[in-house]
Chains A and B, each alone.
Chain A
């Protein structure tokens, strides 16, 4: 059974650019949630999608957005990149909602903003 796949694994952008990250969940999982991980703040919740609907959103500016497709694959977009957006972006999938279901994480997309 394939795990959660995130692409790209590594990317470098410059300030002001935008980036799109992709996440393919485990087959059959309907929930995809996104997290930002930095050395100082640890893991922070960005948003959760369940059956193509955003179910919950963390405390991040509107530059961070996402969507989920009918096949449960999800993308997140960060516009007008800032140096502070450099982080490991993790997505996780679960059968049910993130609060109740076991989360299965991908390996992450490491974003560096120069």
Chain B
């Protein structure tokens, strides 16, 4: 069964600290993996999209990694800011014509 598991479920860090969110998937065949940031009450916003051949992709202070062999991805946030407080959702795409598979997200709270 195609699944996407994210950990931890929630995380609290101090402003300025780094953190890493995890995403494990069992989707096959694999097409691409995406990370989205969703602020409370808003729609998700794309952070990165990675295909099979990409190991690392950055978007400002956000860096995503992908290990297609172990079917794991991580999202690293550097020098966190209060505005990073949000839900981070990992989404995996299988072959064209099939539905996207969403993880349930990691809720990050950055405190001052």
- Complex alpha-carbon distance, A80 and B97, angstroms: 29
Range for the number of chain B residues in contact with chain A = 20 to 34
Are A90 and B99 touching (Cβ within 8 A)? no
Are B44 and A55 touching (Cβ within 8 A)? no
Give every chain A residue within 8 A of B103 (Cβ-Cβ).
Answer: 42
**Using a Cβ–Cβ cut-off of 8 Å, how many residues does chain A contribute to the interface with B?**
25
Are A45 and B100 touching (Cβ within 8 A)? yes
Q: Does B46 have its Cβ within 8 Å of any Cβ on chain A? A: yes
Q: Does B104 have its Cβ within 8 Å of any Cβ on chain A? A: yes
Are A42 and B104 touching (Cβ within 8 A)? yes
Give every chain B residue within 8 A of A35 (Cβ-Cβ).
Answer: 102
Chain A positions near chain B (C-beta within 8 angstroms): 4, 33, 35, 41-45, 48, 55-56, 58, 90, 92, 97-100, 102-108
Q: Lowest 3 CB-CB distances: which A-B pairs, in order?
A: A105-B43, A42-B104, A43-B102
